[in-house]
Chain A
């Protein structure tokens, strides 16, 4: 591109094309969905197995994996941010959305005893909000479908025992995080985001 005078028509075309280029850029965030999808899947199934089939005293032990997840997410997020050549508002909103939801989830788990350890339905609801908004921002239908799954499972979970809630949690992340996460990963490979 040269530095030259242009006509008003050319000017408008140029503005449109440049804004279009900037808008098309979106980041492949599938790694976070896959990371958390697997962590929650393993933790909830372990919890269910230990609570139902063994006399192990601390069936929730698997949830300590979430600490690893939190550290890994922070490290991956910081690395991605550094290597990113362009910072767009969508990435910023996306980051704040999940950070706030993460804090909300932590708050409900931290105060779990006060709600009779009925934390899963709330976590499913929060995850549903996150995937619904993320899906809409990226115009990515599988994630919006995942949000619907989280919401329905949350309604069911409110009516189940703590142990059975773990199975719904596992199903929720499989449909809401892992499935859309793998589709997103495959798409970004194909289109080279």
Chain B
């Protein structure tokens, strides 16, 4: 992450936080508002961070994966379904059901990634088309099963949506969470904490292990890697699947951590924003994370402005409209990707199938 990009991030976050502080100042102190913004930002950046890490593993190994969106959606659905099955049909208590749900989501992510790997590595399908196939397939399957299982006549749950086992409980960091006011930042749910841990782990794996070196080798110059005895196909398969597991965890965030229900197409483009975060972060874990935080802040801005809706002064009435504020993350993605980003360098063999 170079200085220029860091400055951009700080500047954008300052603008967004400043807006909310200005709007909410008559109700709360700036410290309370900023704390709340930071806490929301970290939470909503979770699927973006994990999605970006998924893209990072894939692309560092030379496989473009734009199917992250669909992978997350599929994982969100099947994780949620598994937790409900455990809870309602097998009568497990809430917590074990949720854990099984998360595992099912992660597994689903891995399976979608396996499909992408088969398409793009073995069958050498155009990787962007392959990813699009996954997105359409995930949207179709989850939409169909959601209606068939829960709402159709003769469905498993006879048209009654069963009670879901709720969402994952928060985890407090001891001591830090006890600090007055700003302690709130240190109370987050488990997937949010895992995402941060995985950023650090990915940094170590990609840049400080033999696995990472080999991964980068097959992403930059697969022929050279092959010559020194690295199994290009195998490395690509494993990295794409590792990425899929992470995207699966991101999917679990939607239905097991953020809210406890599933809606068709609920990922709403987060998979693509995650890709933009990865590109802006120049294919590095910490870069991707900070970009994910910027997009998260845009979403936190939206959430907090809705919260302070009644306080918005009439001159800024446009900010009261949820559709207008809802544009923020998407516009920001375009602006950052095109105007502010400067030059980014993808891995040299990114998107190219390896022909022996």
Indicate whether A and B interact. Answer: no
